[in-house]
Amino acid sequence: MERKYRFISNRILKNSREEEKGRMRVLVKTDSDIAETDYECPECGFKEHTEPEWKRPFSVTCSKCGFVMRLPKLKDEMKREKKKAKA
Ligand SMILES: [Zn+2]
């Protein structure tokens, strides 16, 4: 089967109070540099589809409230969880 996407992510997003209120789905087609992104802003609840250029580290700015939603690397996120468990 043909591989259609080179990057797929579906993540829960935290707002500035560390509450898991939003989400972001990112799809990047194999031969494309466009990130097809659907997000729900964790800060204000605004939902939008946007297609910015794909680059790492990837982030999208909410077009309603300006909150920056970063797509964390899985590795970094795991590190942080470990730290949290230790504390
Ligand atoms: Zn927002």
If the chain, 87 residues long, is cut into consecutive pieces of 10 residues, what is the mean pLDDT of each piece? 84 95 96 96 98 94 97 67 67
d(CA 70, CA 47): 16
Q: Which helix (H) or strand (E) holds 25?
A: strand 20-29
pLDDT for res 86: 67
pLDDT for res 72: 74
pLDDT for res 3: 73
pTM across the whole model: 0.80
Cα 44 to ligand 1 centre (Å): 4
Cα 12 to ligand 1 centre (Å): 14
CB half-sphere exposure, 19, CA atoms < 13 A: 7
Q: Which helix (H) or strand (E) holds 29?
A: strand 20-29
Cα 37 to ligand 1 centre (Å): 15
d(CA 57, CA 55): 6
CB half-sphere exposure, 69, CA atoms < 13 A: 32
pLDDT for res 81: 64
Cα 79 to ligand 1 centre (Å): 27
Cα 61 to ligand 1 centre (Å): 8
pLDDT for res 1: 53
